[in-house]
Amino acid sequence: MSKPMNQAYQWPEAGERRLPRFIYTDEAIFAREMERIFFADSWNYVALSCELPNPGDYILSSIGNVGVVVSRDRKGEVRVFVNRCPHRGARLCERRKGNNKLFTCPYHEWSFNLEGRLVGVPLSRGVDGKGGMSEQFDPSAHHLQQLHVAQRHGVIFASFSNTIAPLTDYFGPKILKYFDRVCDGRPLKVIGKHKHVVYGNWKLQIENVKDTVHAAILHAFFTLFGIWRSDQKTQIVVEANGRHSVLASTATFTKQEGSSSTTANGEFQLADERLIAHSPEFQEATGAVMTLWPNLIFLQQLNCLVMRHVEPVNSNSCIKTWTFFAYADEASELTERRIKQANLLGAAGLVTIDDNEILASCQQGIAYPQDFQCVLEAGEGNGDCDYMVSESAIRGFYQYYRQVMEL
Ligand SMILES: [Fe+2]
């Protein structure tokens, strides 16, 4: 365990009700986050299992700011490797996804099999009996760096930690109940991907989804068309130590006559209701947004199902990768509906685009000189509550963050 952060990083006396500027702007803090959060005791979302159905299939992902390759080996096991050749450090795999029999580094063409073993070194015997690899070179000592892998109902997580708790203990029953509500073991299929930069610290993006207060204020579309109101039935569920949370909420919809779908009751009506009309398919809430420590946003809203992977780049930006999914065996009309709603809730949709802009604006303002603290005074405590105007889930997140970061 390294030493606590020095005096330059004093957390405000008000505890989690104030967030200091340096956690969003300081590169030493960012480096500490990588070391203590992403490369330590965390299960990091990397991909959906259905993205690599066959042996040799792979897809690129990340853990913190480290690129990884998620792949399926010859026996069908999922493996996660650091995307780095152990020879000279080059990126081993460049294509975003594909199918390989071997992973071959472009620099000197060292080749690795699907289990990560070094199986080919060109020119290892030199040329014309001269040169080549030395006597002491042992290929078995140079395999790919491999991470621990855990899966639940088609969702793949990986960890650098040798001491990490099993996935079920890591999430705990309160959170798993919501996870399993959508990912219940039915086979999944990917129906779309978005990827874009957010010009804000990765934690601003996580906070944004835990921030129930802004939804009915910033997102005018939500309120005007009746998809979201601050007085709708709401449950904020926070895991005991604060790191994961769920916002489960129910908008009021009216059943359409002679149809299985429902439409919103808002001040305005869309000429074409297909964007927001939805078929109810889950118990308890019309939307459940989970934020799973450290950086997965698992969203179900109306018929939109998506994993939003928030990939930290540096202290002032992150990349958000969206994987929209559906159930493999569902009716094609339902899949169509999910794709349509990606235009509402996706990266350039009528809602998220507000967040992208406001997060960049916050990042810029927070970075202005001099001292600055964000204020989190809405609601009480750092845990569960049954009303919307609360920042308790954000405070819960920082309660755990401070513990891990020793701040
Ligand atoms: Fe938002």
CATH code of the domain in which 386 resides: 3.90.380.10
166 domain-assigned: no
- pLDDT band for position 4 (50/70/90)? low
The mean predicted confidence, pLDDT, of the chain is: 93
Give the distance (Å) from ligand 1 centre to CA of residue 159: 29
pLDDT at 254 over 70: no
Give the distance (Å) from ligand 1 centre to CA of residue 208: 6
Close Cβ partners of 70 (under 8 Å, ≥ 6 residues apart): 46, 47, 51, 52, 58, 59, 60, 61, 78, 79, 80, 156, 158
Give the distance (Å) from ligand 1 centre to CA of residue 215: 5
Contact status, residue 359 vs residue 351, Cβ threshold 8 Å: no
Percentage of residues of the chain with pLDDT beyond 70: 95
Q: Which among 149, 164, 183 is the end of a domain?
A: 149
Task: Please give the pLDDT value at position 95.
Answer: 96
pLDDT mean over 146-157: 98
At 185-202, the pLDDT tens digits run 999 999 999 999 999 999
Domain co-membership, 136 together with 260: no
Task: Read off the CATH number of the domain in which 74 is found.
Answer: 2.102.10.10
Give the distance (Å) from ligand 1 centre to CA of residue 287: 14
Close Cβ partners of 9 (under 8 Å, ≥ 6 residues apart): 20, 22, 26, 29, 407
pLDDT mean over 222-240: 86
pLDDT at 1 over 70: no
Q: Which among 91, 115, 149 is the end of a domain?
A: 149
290 domain-assigned: yes
7 domain-assigned: no
What is the number of domains present in the chain?
2
- pLDDT band for position 267 (50/70/90)? confident
Give the distance (Å) from ligand 1 centre to CA of residue 216: 9
379 domain-assigned: yes
Greater model confidence, 130 or 250: 130
Contact status, residue 392 vs residue 238, Cβ threshold 8 Å: yes
- pLDDT band for position 288 (50/70/90)? very high
Give the distance (Å) from ligand 1 centre to CA of residue 358: 9
Which range marks the domain in which residue 282 is found? 173-405
Domain co-membership, 227 together with 351: yes
Give the distance (Å) from ligand 1 centre to CA of residue 355: 5
At 121-139, the pLDDT tens digits run 999 999 999 999 999 999 9
Domain co-membership, 365 together with 245: yes
Give the distance (Å) from ligand 1 centre to CA of residue 203: 14
Give the distance (Å) from ligand 1 centre to CA of residue 214: 6
Greater model confidence, 264 or 153: 153
* Amino acid found at 224: L
Task: Please give the pLDDT value at position 272.
Answer: 84
CA distance 228 to 211: 14
Contact status, residue 269 vs residue 225, Cβ threshold 8 Å: yes
Task: Please give the pLDDT value at position 56.
Answer: 98
pLDDT at 264 over 70: no
pLDDT mean over 291-299: 98
Minimum mean pLDDT range among 81-95, 224-238, 372-386: 224-238
Cβ burial of 333 (10 Å; 0-12, 13-18, 19+) is exposed
Domain co-membership, 143 together with 183: no
- pLDDT band for position 257 (50/70/90)? low
Domain co-membership, 142 together with 213: no
Give the distance (Å) from ligand 1 centre to CA of residue 14: 26
Give the distance (Å) from ligand 1 centre to CA of residue 351: 7
Domain co-membership, 196 together with 106: no
Environment of ion ligand 1 (residues, CB < 5 A): 355
Give the distance (Å) from ligand 1 centre to CA of residue 190: 24
pLDDT mean over 313-335: 97
Give the distance (Å) from ligand 1 centre to CA of residue 235: 17
Task: Please give the pLDDT value at position 176.
Answer: 97
Give the distance (Å) from ligand 1 centre to CA of residue 58: 32
Give ∠ CA 26-35-392 in degrees, rounded to 5: 70
pLDDT at 284 over 90: no
Percentage of residues of the chain with pLDDT beyond 90: 81
Give the distance (Å) from ligand 1 centre to CA of residue 210: 9
Give the distance (Å) from ligand 1 centre to CA of residue 16: 21
At 87-106, the pLDDT tens digits run 999 999 999 999 999 999 99
